[in-house]
A and B are shown apart, each in its own frame.
Chain A
Amino acid sequence: MIEVLFFARVRETLDLARLALELAEPTTVGALKAQLAARGANWQALFAERPVLAAVNQELALPEVDRDR
């Protein structure tokens, strides 16, 4: 299981600060973003609008970074 934290504009748009996700298999930041964008219209708009920065284990991460790096 992973825990996804949301900040600032993203948190306010979604009205959500954290989300626990069960993953069937290891994923990447890019795949996770795509998975989140599929959750609904406001999620999709959020990721389509502007780039969303991501960090894995508190380190800035590029889209191809593995979850367990």
Chain B
Amino acid sequence: MTDDVRILTTTLDPAALTTELVNDRAHSQGALVTFVGMVRDLTANPVSAMQLEHYPGMTEKSLAAIIGRARARWPLGRALIAHRVGMLHPGEPIVFVGVTGSHRREAFAACEFLMDYLKTEAPFWKKEFTPDGERWVEAKPSDGEAAQRWRAAQQQQQ
């Protein structure tokens, strides 16, 4: 079982990461769920590029800790989080989360859990470049609510 956290300064290749997980999983793992997030291109709110800053060291630690929490909740095989930093343009993949498990249910749940916590607890900051200038994007309250949902679900189970 290898936990993987990769911070990439060049292109993120979701197909290559998916193939890696398919080939590298244990044979008892019949499920692989992946999520790929891409830079959106919104006509109402044109963003020509975005710059992603992070806190090297803390980023890797916090993502590894999030994977550890997912493992405490579900029996998982591989868990891989890859995240871009630096300059990105609309359409480019920015994040990849891939989880293998024996069954689809835990793989789906863990993949969503990892994304929800990544959005609230990993030290990434996004600056958007638009025709009107540059702006830092603050964390959206809805991202915090998503992570809160998992906490509530766990308390109900206890």
Q: Which of B3-11, B17-25, B41-49, B55-63 contacts A (4 or more CB under 8 A)?
A: B55-63
Q: How many residues of A are counted as interface, with CB atoms below 8 angstroms from the partner's CB atoms?
A: 11
Q: Are B127 and A8 within 8 A (Cβ)?
A: yes
Report if A7-B138 is in contact (Cβ < 8 Å); known contacts: A55-B58, A58-B57, A58-B58.
no
B interface, over-half SS: mixed
Q: How many residues of B are counted as interface, with CB atoms below 8 angstroms from the partner's CB atoms?
A: 13
Closest B residue to A55 by CB, please name it: B58
Please give, as numbers and ranges, the residues of chain B lying within 8 Å of A60 by CB-CB distance: 62, 121
CA distance A7 to B139 in the complex (A): 14
Interface centre among A8, A55, A58, A60, by most B CB within 10 Å?
A8
Kindly provide the distance from the CB of A68 to the nearest chain B CB, expressed in whole angstroms. Answer: 18
Closest B residue to A12 by CB, please name it: B136
CA distance A59 to B139 in the complex (A): 17
CA distance A59 to B63 in the complex (A): 11
* Residue from the list A5, A9, A58 in contact with B125, Cβ < 8 A: A9
Q: Mark A2-21, 1 if CB is under 8 A from B, else 0.
A: 00010111001000000000
Please give, as numbers and ranges, the residues of chain B lying within 8 Å of A12 by CB-CB distance: 136
Q: Does B123 contact A (CB under 8 A)?
A: yes
Q: Does B92 contact A (CB under 8 A)?
A: no
CA distance A14 to B103 in the complex (A): 50
Closest A residue to B60 by CB, please name it: A58
Q: Does A39 contact B (CB under 8 A)?
A: no
